[in-house]
Amino acid sequence: LQTRLQAGQGYGNTLNCVLTVYRNESVAGFFKGMAFPLASIAVYSSVVFGVFSNTQRLLSQLRYGDAARAPALPDMALASAVAGFVSVGIGTPVDLVKIRLQMQTQPFLQANVRLKPTVPGFPVYRGPIHCFRTVLQKEGIAGIYRGAGAMLLRDVPGYCLYFIPYAFFCGWITPDGCISPNPSSVWLAGGVAGAISWGTATPMDVVKSRLQADGVYVNKYKGILDCILQSYQSEGLKVFFRGITLNAVRGFPTSSATFLGYELSLKAMRRDQAETNP
């Protein structure tokens, strides 16, 4: 739904998008492009959280001589930015394939069908592997990483507004004297952080989605700035807030589950380490 709202044509609001997708594609339409993200989400999350945690420990070691010391706000911001930068390398190809598969049957009103043998409204790709291989063959590495600049502008500040609010709310909710936050505090703080991060990242998320959806039938945008200008000229400022409610609502449960899994995994590993090395 997020991709259709941000890069598609003719959807007035979220409810209209839901009804249109269901009417045209049945329930299967809501799961298009799911295979690639599902297969890579574990690696993606592991890398992001691993880079964030290890960067924090490195900064604490360099600045204070103690890797276990709680990081200062600037250290946390820098670690978040590094995590966001690294995430683009993994996330861009995955998002590109997902968006191409979700948007390939959408009518593209400005497409010149003479440019490509495929008629708008009919499938171009047979699946995620075929999509990845086709884009790589026709557009090279640059095609696979189309939209990486917009994703970088989304994820670097986005992860700062992800990890920092989480740490703040988690510390605020956790009772004094507790060594670590309880699961309910982690769940709530993670959800709030996710809603804040995804809500504020929506404008650049719109640009990224449009750049990555572009190219199925015709290349409409020359780059980030051109996409911003064309989108603004044709649809006004409101276009950059398409899907913001969906992003914020989706961000709460997904981030709650992610942070809860992360914290519980850390606790389990620390307990096993303590039992192994008493």
pLDDT tens across 71-114, in order? 889 999 999 999 999 999 999 999 999 888 887 766 544 433 34
How far apart are alpha carbons 90 and 124 in whole angstroms? 24
pLDDT tens-digit profile of 177-228?
A: 566 778 888 999 999 999 999 999 999 999 999 999 887 666 788 899 999 9
Beta carbons within 8 Å of 99's beta carbon, 6+ residues apart: 3, 7, 33, 209, 212, 213
Q: What is the DSSP secondary structure assignment for residue 111, as one 8-state letter?
A: -
C-beta separation of 95 from 151 below 8 A: yes
Bigger pLDDT: 7 or 174?
A: 174
pTM over 0.85: no
136 contacts: CB under 8 Å, gap ≥ 6: 143, 144
Q: What is the pLDDT of residue 106?
A: 60
What tokens appear for 249 in the block?
Answer: 């609502």
**pLDDT at position 148, please?**
95
Q: Which of 194, 191, 192, 214 is nearest to 202 (CA)?
A: 194
Q: How many CA atoms lie within 13 A of 94 on its CB side?
A: 18
Q: What pLDDT is attached to residue 109?
A: 43
| Residue 59 near residue 79 (C-beta atoms within 8 A) | yes
